Amino acid sequence: MFNLMKTAILMAAITALFMAIGALIGGQTGMMVALVVALGMNFYSYWFSDKLVLKMYNAQEVDESSAPQFYRTVRELAQRAQLPMPKVYLIEEDAPNAFATGRNPEHAAVAATTGILRVLSEAELRGVMAHELAHVRHRDILISTVSATMAGAISMLANFAMFFGGRNGEGRSTNPIVGLLVMFLAPIAAGLIQMAISRAREFEADRGGAEISGDPRALASALQKIHQYADGAIPLQAAERHPETAQMMIMNPLSAGGLRGLFSTHPSTEERVQRLLAMAPGAA
């Protein structure tokens, strides 16, 4: 229920941001057009944002015949977590990463890159997928997917400000600097909304993933390995094209250059590893 409330608040905040941008671009008419667009985006995001994100990553659904070990791992973990079996997807990317999406546990999907299957051991992969299933169990996946979709839409809308400039309530042109400010500030505002949502839930998903897999050390080891690749060694091309989706990943996949470096949507890997190791049997 709490996450549904957070999702509703997020949708309302982004609708208000849409309307503000619309007002700056086209006055009262622009604000009303933006309201209609925002309501349509809210509806689409709730029902179809998971499909959109999976399409962005060109994720391909797999089953027990096409990816037997990976599929069986997810099925066994879903049973341990007492969750319905999610749809399982693979993404042809060398960078190791994974995410979960969907509007609720009954309509969930988990996706992993082919790179993560090559890099991690079986125990480490179990830890990662348990982390993603913890997101499903905590019902984080709806707000995560909706925020990614809406942030992308806001960034696209803000870009119109550069071409059309701002207009006041009487339809007269305003200072073009306003349009430039909107172009830069709107994506930052969307990123701040995502950042406020993401950090605490990653710690909770780590804890839940360790409980589901029964092996916090393996998840800690997986995070350390993924961090080495995510730290600029191998870019995740789909995430670079759609940076608004970075907060869905188990590890921030974006390069640190430019404005993208401001949107660190995950806690530090070191702190996550320390917390997981403290959960391990025999930890001091």
Domain boundaries, the chain: 2-279
Q: How many C-beta neighbours within 10 Å does residue 220 have?
A: 24
Q: How many C-beta neighbours within 10 Å does residue 163 have?
A: 9
What's the number of CA atoms in the CB half-sphere (13 Å) around residue 36?
A: 5
Of residues 76, 92, 124, 132, which has the active-site annotation? 132
Residue 206: per-residue pLDDT: 97
Q: Is 132 a catalytic residue?
A: yes
Distance of CA 107 to the CA centre of its chain: 17
> By mean pLDDT, which of 32-41, 75-84, 173-182, 259-268 is the weakest?
173-182
Whether 189 has a pLDDT exceeding 80, the answer reads no
Nearest to 130 by CA among 90, 79, 87: 79
State the helix-helix crossing angle for 176-213 and 141-164, rounded to 10 degrees.
160
Confidence of residue 175 (pLDDT cuts 50, 70, 90): low
C-alpha torsion angle, residues 131, 133, 138, 142 (rounded to 10): 110
The DSSP secondary-structure symbol of 255 reads -
Residue 105: per-residue pLDDT: 93
- Tokens 């917390």, residue located: 275
Question: Are the C-beta atoms of residues 20 and 190 closer than 8 Å to each other?
Answer: no
